Structure 1
């Protein structure tokens, strides 16, 4: 892979990882249309590492408040246990489905679905999913993710598991799932990326442990990791504002276009 191809993939990763338009779907199309080779596992892992740096930086004030809440010495033992349950139960059950997918069917999914012929259907699914959020009444959304019930957390987790398919956006699916169960837009946005931070970081660590002998550093890789981080941070600022104003559905237009584009690529029109 040339430096230019690596740079393009870094920008693509930073822009599409967080926007509800499926980064994996774009990667599959880029490989088909432009002949860009699939990045090495090492390069792919560090691009994801870059975008997770963006998540930590963007949500750092909220993460600090969350940690201070959990570890505050002012909490009584009973109050402390309740706060930990309120945080850990939603996080555990939103992450559980994608962990099970990763353990049992991830390789099979990658072999079957990482081709252009399935993208029209998965992009259509994402487009419809995002479009339906236009009809959610924001004023009726009252829930916060801290203290969310087991079943509602699991429901959002199923959306996250389904998003392992190329063309289905992880952020779009989980944010939409959060809105469906009644989370405030701000909380649906936050919960989506906290869940992603844990699942993607877990995957990152697992792959390093599994394939540690192929992980290496070079200047280009480090530079493009920071490129992905910068692009990702800017996208988070944009997406946060759009979600709070109830405009997540706007991305359905783009996904419909991607559905048609991928259909044309598949049919070689």
Structure 2
């Protein structure tokens, strides 16, 4: 493995960890970064290093997950929440499995990413200005149809540049959660979604990966884990105070800069 390859893996891992849980689209940022770094990938590397970010999330939420697991056999609210997360997870999982090849063939395009970033940025800015009625006290008590609606919103994130966390947060706010609770549920929904994507992609590609490819993936995994820890520990307090508009503006800036670069330097 060459030094440039190591540095590319570190950069892309940091990008993954910093962007996975905020509503700016980690996949979109990774595709843009890979394009301008000249990093050749079919999308496998970008999916596999997500495990680093999800392990950071599992570490931070270990206590809450343990309490839910211990309570689930006897507590109806815990059982309801586990079922709710599974209900929200299924739509994107089914569509992703059915249309994976078409998505990679037609939508994993940096031009599409830039336009999706810009469009999603305006959506976040608009959402941040609306005073939604809070109908639920937290993300643990939603009715199952509300969980399903959030899951349907997550399907939008199959388009690179839309953002998994952004779509689920917007869905959560539309069904009656406040900013913090919507962001927290996006964390819980990320766990089965990202783990499922990792297992599915690894099962398909592990036998074709080279030693260098495995090494780059391991480096990207560590970088994603370390940077992901920082985001998970600070995001909920940040969005409670500042909202999502700053992420909307960031998306627009990155999308516009990406288009300018694509149409000038290629």
TM-score normalized by the length of structure 1: 0.86
The alpha carbon displacement at 1:220 in A equals 5.4
Aligned counterpart for 1:262 among listed residues 246, 258, 262:
258
Q: Does 1:225 align with 2:228?
A: no
Contact kept in structure 2, 1:138 and 1:246, CA below 8 Å: no
- Aligned-residue RMSD, C-alpha: 2.4
Q: Does 1:146 align with 2:140?
A: yes
Contact kept in structure 2, 1:123 and 1:167, CA below 8 Å: yes
TM-score normalized by the length of structure 2: 0.87
Q: Distance in 2 between matches of 1:191 and 1:29?
A: 27
Aligned to 1:35: 38
Q: Does 1:164 align with 2:126?
A: no
Aligned to 2:61: 59
Contact kept in structure 1, 2:91 and 2:152, CA below 8 Å: yes
Q: Does 1:13 align with 2:16?
A: yes
Aligned to 1:211: 205
Unaligned runs of 5+ in 2: none
Contact kept in structure 2, 1:129 and 1:173, CA below 8 Å: no
Q: Does 1:243 align with 2:246?
A: no
Unaligned runs of 5+ in 1: none
Deviations for 1:105-146, whole angstroms, at most 9, x for unmatched residues? 121011111112212321122112211232243773534222
Corresponding pairs, count: 260
The alpha carbon displacement at 1:221 in A equals 4.1
Q: Distance in 2 between matches of 1:250 and 1:160?
A: 21
Which secondary structure does the structure 2 equivalent of 1:189 belong to?
helix
The alpha carbon displacement at 1:173 in A equals 1.5
Q: Distance in 1 between matches of 2:9 and 2:216?
A: 8
The alpha carbon displacement at 1:234 in A equals 0.1
Where does 1:113-192 land on structure 2 (aligned, <5 Å)? Answer: 113-137=107-131, 140=134, 142-192=136-186
1:67 and 1:184, CA in 2 relative to 1: closer, same or farther beyond 3 A? farther
Contact kept in structure 1, 2:173 and 2:182, CA below 8 Å: yes
1:27 and 1:266, CA in 2 relative to 1: closer, same or farther beyond 3 A? same
1:246 and 1:148, CA in 2 relative to 1: closer, same or farther beyond 3 A? farther
Deviations for 1:176-210, whole angstroms, at most 9, x for unmatched residues? 21112111333212211111110110121222333
